[in-house]
Structure 1
Amino acid sequence: MKKVSMLETKSNLASPHQCKSQQWKAEEEKCTTTKLSEMLGLEEFFSLKAWRASLAELVGTAVFVFALDTIVISTYETQTKTPKLIMSFLIAVTTTIILIAINPISGSHINPAITLAAMLVGVISLSRAVIYILAQCAGAVLGALALKAVVSSTIEETFSLGGCTLNVIAPGPNGPIMIGLGTSQALWLEIICTFVLLFAAIWIAFDHRQARALGRVMVVSIIGIVVGLLVFISTTLTATKGYAGVGMNPARCLGPALVRGGHLWNGHWIFWVGPAIACVAFYLYTKLIPQQHFHADGFKHDFLNILKAIFSSNHAHKK
């Protein structure tokens, strides 16, 4: 039998210190992975509660799109002297009512821009944001389909199903011409108006201290009023035929575009990119102001914290 030298035995056996070090690294890596999973909210993909909340977002967005587009068409069809003012007032009231209806269930986003802002700030997880945005887009399509089913083909064509338009084709002296708003101007309007909505209204809902002090009804009423004002300002300020005003809600613009198609796809990307830029700008604002002015303790899903966790996880794997 071959004898094993003492030197070989020592080399083959790990020291207690090395074992503890390896065990500590494994536990640290597992802890980091678990923490990242919780911050991303991955368990919510399998949560019945999250999917039930998304159902409220789907139905709420469907009703919102149907009601909003109906208001746009009805206001201009009645040929009132102040259609933009009446339309904006009705939009404000309708938005408030729908937000009150689904707020206890899902937080009443009914807008991918608000969901994205909530995810960046940390009010909801990335997983829930994905679930909500998918539900909102599906709801917007259902709302547009419902509207298409009840209006005549003439009204559908004349008002583009109440969708978000930058320009339309109109008869001209030498044939059909395209009238509407320029791409850069429309993009700036989307960015500015969406940021104002987040800053002046959604900010109050995210700040726990203000939200509790004002109450749910007051908070959603402020949001509805701000939405109505921004719609009125954008349509009046530009005074351009063919431009339907700011969307501030990508899902609301997507629904009619998928159902109606045609020129609704012209510059459609603006209604997504503009609000997305505004959400990032709003998030940066919340990180730059003094922390004592933003009472949002417990927002563990904050995007910056997620990036830190991802960096820590990668660093642990490299070790």
Structure 2
Amino acid sequence: MVPPTPARPLPHINPHKPCGGGWGRRMWKEVLSVTFYRAVFAEFLATSIYVFFGLGSVLRWPSALPTILQISITFNLAAATVVQIAWHVSGAHVNPAVTMAFLLGSRISLARAACYMVAQLAGGIAGAATLYGVTPAEVQGSLGINTVRSNITSGQAVAVELILTFQLVLCYFASTDRHRNANSPATFIGISVALGHLIGIYFTGCSMNPARSFGPAVIVNKFTVHWIFWVGPMTGAILASLIYNVLLYPDLKSLSQRLAILKGTFDMEAEDMEEAKQNRQPGGGGALEKEQGCLVVCD
């Protein structure tokens, strides 16, 4: 008679210590790490490059006025380039709306999201300022700030920016989902950016990115209807996060895992190792494995 296989122990769980103990120490470990600030700098650098080249395509040179196709392709190439540069360092959000969506989708911590957004806005200003400094005065114009056409209402403009950003953020989630592939999403995100510009330029000049709108607005000091390019993209990003993570590809993280991610104490590498271990087991996991998913949260 074969003796029953003993249940596999659950390591690291201390029944006398409540789950989440010492989270403050682990949160500060993330914020004070070199990799954290490397990622924040990557967001600053990538956003400044994106804004510099993107706005550069909008400048009205007397000898060659920009076309919609030229602008769309330039923003496409700029987006693909900076995603390829920063994706393995920071996730290459390069956009406060994308960062908001990833925060809501329990992909990054609150501290990381806040620092990313500050870095992105600073990068937008730096990119616009650099372009302003190297461009002849007669060509600078309004430096490609987003404006709403005279026959478009504010409500219509918000709706357009919402839709454009909605498809961009959905593409971000689908292209960067670690459960699907580990390849660079640069090409697909670039295509999504180009798609938005091919349509959105006619309505609002196409923002989809508050940092892209904020940078030149600061440099030329023009904030007319600037709120549209925050409300539209942010709302579209939030809707995209909810639809992707709830309806299209449900995220089954527990509440404790979500709180740990929000606080920056979630060990993603440990979760990946645990998931890979489960996938190698016959039957692909079960209740025990589900419970062990909390090992990266509890101490």
Shift of 1:306: 5.5
Instruction: Identify the residue that residue 181 of structure 1 maps to in structure 2.
Output: 152
Shift of 1:296: 7.8
Partners of 1:115 and 1:133 within 8 A in 2:
yes
Q: How far apart in 1 are the matches of 2:221 and 2:111?
A: 30
**CA 1:231–1:124 in 2, change beyond 3 Å: closer, same or farther?**
same
User: Is the partner of 2:58 in helix, strand or coil?
Assistant: helix
Which of 186, 198, 201 aligns to 1:220? It is 186
- For residues 38-117 of structure 1, the aligned pairs below 5 Å read 41-73=27-59, 78-79=64-65, 83-117=67-101
Residue 268 (str. 1) matches residue 226 (str. 2): yes
Shift of 1:208: 1.5
Residue 282 (str. 1) matches residue 247 (str. 2): no
Q: How far apart in 2 are the matches of 1:46 and 1:305?
A: 16
Which of 203, 209, 234 aligns to 1:249? It is 209
User: Is the partner of 1:280 in helix, strand or coil?
Assistant: helix
Instruction: Identify the residue that residue 176 of structure 1 maps to in structure 2.
Output: none
Which of 135, 141, 148 aligns to 1:166? It is 148
Question: Which TM-score applies when normalising by structure 1?
Answer: 0.69
Q: How far apart in 2 are the matches of 1:261 and 1:151?
A: 17
Residue 126 (str. 1) matches residue 110 (str. 2): yes
Shift of 1:65: 0.7
Runs of 5+ consecutive residues of structure 2 not aligned to the other structure: 1-15, 264-299
Instruction: Identify the residue that residue 9 of structure 1 maps to in structure 2.
Output: none
Q: Deviations over 1:287-308 (max 9, x none)?
A: 4327xx457879976479869x
Letter in 1 for 2:129: L
Q: How far apart in 1 are the matches of 2:217 and 2:88?
A: 30
**CA 1:233–1:75 in 2, change beyond 3 Å: closer, same or farther?**
farther
User: Is the partner of 2:101 in helix, strand or coil?
Assistant: helix
**CA 1:109–1:288 in 2, change beyond 3 Å: closer, same or farther?**
closer
Q: Deviations over 1:248-271 (max 9, x none)?
A: 110111111111113xx1111111
Letter in 2 for 1:221: T
Computing the radius of gyration from Cα coordinates, the structure with the larger value is 1
Which has more helix, going by share of residues? 1
Letter in 2 for 1:207: D
**CA 1:182–1:92 in 2, change beyond 3 Å: closer, same or farther?**
same
Partners of 1:61 and 1:110 within 8 A in 2:
yes
**CA 1:77–1:57 in 2, change beyond 3 Å: closer, same or farther?**
farther
Q: How far apart in 2 are the matches of 1:204 and 1:149?
A: 38
Q: How far apart in 1 are the matches of 2:244 and 2:115?
A: 24
Q: How far apart in 1 are the matches of 2:260 and 2:235?
A: 17
Q: How far apart in 2 are the matches of 1:302 and 1:52?
A: 24
Letter in 2 for 1:181: I
Q: How far apart in 2 are the matches of 1:42 and 1:161?
A: 40
Instruction: Identify the residue that residue 177 of structure 2 maps to in structure 1.
Output: 207
User: How many residues get paired?
Assistant: 251
Q: How far apart in 1 are the matches of 2:57 and 2:256?
A: 39
Instruction: Identify the residue that residue 124 of structure 2 maps to in structure 1.
Output: 140
Taking only the aligned residue pairs, the percentage that are identical comes to 29
